[in-house]
Amino acid sequence: MDIVIPISHFDPENVKLHQIKSAPLKKTISFIYQEHNITLTTLILGLHPLKVVDLDLEKKQIVLEECKTNSLLSKLEHFQTNINNELEQHADTWLEKSSLPTLIKNPLQQWVKSKRFTLYLSTDPSSLPLFSQEGKSILSNTTLQPGNMIRVIIKIHGLSLQMSEDDIWTGKSRIQHHILQIYKID
């Protein structure tokens, strides 16, 4: 059974890099979430209401922002900073058998930037569940538009490191995630 952590209870300090998996042209480091005596190997977050700024179905991404002054997105910003610092300082630990670039600085593609949060949609955005007061519908430019308020449930898979064909880390990485559900609340 998977547990959803509400963003209000999420503590970025409880996320640790766990295991590395290799695949052609990428390596993925999974996360674990440890709080008190509980360890979660699946990290699922329930976000608070956010406003849709942009929905681009061709690029398969959605850009969200907060409307309130107390920023819970700052927790995700803190999370990405922790991961970025971990990569800058300990990349050689995670990539022990791979070559590293000579300079590693800000290797993580930013999720939260200028108080906006960018999420990638699945390969088929129309398969993403969108719920509203009218029931379940298909995600499209007519069912979800900029200005709408939504809650999003995301699963964070891990950290993806982009590798060259020669098994050299390019110095680029991103947090792999998957939107599980979207709830339209206006």
Nearest Cα to Cα of residue 125 among 148, 143, 146: 143
Closest CA to 17 of 108, 110, 152: 108
Distance CA 151, CA 7 (A): 11
Q: Report whether pLDDT(88) > 80.
A: no
Are 159 and 185 a contacting pair, CB within 8 Å?
no
Instruction: Of 94-108, 122-136, 152-166, give the lowest mean pLDDT range.
Output: 94-108
- Between the ranges 11-15, 82-86, 90-94, 121-125, where is the mean pLDDT highest? 11-15
Q: In the predicted model, what is the mean pLDDT of residues 102-111?
A: 69
Q: What is the pLDDT of residue 31?
A: 93
Digit-coded pLDDT (tens) for 160-175: 888 888 877 777 888 9
What percentage of the chain has pLDDT greater than the value 70? Answer: 90
Which pLDDT belongs to residue 111? 86
- Place 106 in a pLDDT band, splitting at 50, 70 and 90: low
Is 40's pLDDT higher than 80? yes
Percent of the chain at pLDDT above 90? 50
Which residues, in sequence order, are CB contacts of 122 under 8 Å at separation 6+? 60, 128, 178, 179
Can you give the pLDDT at residue 184?
96
Q: What is the mean pLDDT of residues 129-137?
A: 91
Inform me whether the pLDDT recorded for 3 exceeds 70: yes
